[in-house]
Structure formats: structure tokens, C-alpha cells
Amino acid sequence: MRTRSHSTAFCLQKGWVIKINCDLCGKIDERLNRALIEGVELNVCSACSKFGKVLAPVKRYTPKEYHKMVQKMEEKEEKVDLLAEGYADIIKKGRESMGLTQKDFANKINEKESTIHKIEIGALEPSLHLAKKLEKALGVKIIEEYEERHEALNRKKEEGFTLGDFIRIKK
């Protein structure tokens, strides 16, 4: 199995270069190589690259490019599937409208009767897989899509004080 490790990028800037940690030894370096070590793709320093096959140098971003990437990631919309409020009543009413007992309905969808009972009294929250199965069998909607939008923080100095404004460092 081949996986890709994501290095922790630090905004420690020396001139216009962002330094990145080696995934193997932790050394902070400006020049890292992407290497295949024991079947895993890692970003490693030149000293650690001897432990595997070097694939290519790691692309270095200027602080401006890095800032744009971070902003794009922060502004993405996130969609999450959630159970509708009152899902237990919706399921119970749907089953009863079909004229089925809990046992008959459980057999129909290949689930345990106790599972259906617990869901209908609200003691068990069904997984998304089971909720989709229930929706299909009953012809009801119990999964709602919730969209969450993350916006980049554009703080200005005039917005107020931060904790760092009150800390005095003793030397």
C-alpha cells in the first residue's frame, strides 16, 4: 500500500524560503526530497533519503503561494450528512403507514427487531448506511445535508487586543 505523508510546513521564513520538517528525523530543512521508503512516500532531508529511493525534490512554495493555498483551503465548503431531528418518529410513522410490525419490517430490511425498536424509541442513532437503508425501504427522508462554509480570517490590527499584546517576555 502506498500512502503519502504530508510534511508540516512552518512559516519560519528565511528570506523567501519556507522551511519544512523531514518526515523521518524531524530536521528543519529548506531542501527536501520526496522518497519511497519501505513502500511509503515521505518528504525527507538529504541525510534520510539514503534509506529509500529518491523520487523527486519537494516543491517549495513562496510565502505568497503558500498563503494563497491556505486561504483556498479555509474557504472551502464542507458538506455533512446529519440525521433529521425527530428521525425516530419519522421512521415509526413510515413503518406503521406500510402496515408492518417491527418484526416484519426488520426481516424486510435484514436487520434485528431490537435494532428497529431502539431506533424508533430514540435510544439508538442509526449509522448513515442504515439510515439510507431505512430511507429507501420506507420512502421517507431522514438524512439532511448540512453545508458549513469556512471563511479565511482576515484580522486587522485595529480589531482589538490579543493575548500576545499583554505578555512581557523577560530576558
Q: Where are the domains of the chain?
A: 9-74, 81-148
Q: What is the CATH number of domain 81-148?
A: 1.10.260.40
Give the per-residue pLDDT at 49: 87
- Inter-residue contact 7 to 43 (CB < 8 Å): yes
Per-residue confidence of the chain (171 residues) as pLDDT tens digits?
A: 444 334 333 343 334 445 678 888 888 877 888 999 998 999 898 889 899 999 988 877 777 887 787 777 766 677 888 899 999 999 999 999 999 999 999 999 999 999 999 999 999 999 999 999 999 999 999 999 888 766 555 555 456 666 666 676 666
> Residue 141, SS3?
coil
> What is the reported pTM?
0.48
Strands (E), the chain: 9-14, 17-21, 28-29, 33-37, 40-44, 53-57, 77-83, 143-149
Compute φ and ψ for 46, nearest 5 degrees: -65, -35
Compute φ and ψ for 115, nearest 5 degrees: -65, -45
76 Cβ contact list (under 8 Å, min separation 6): 150
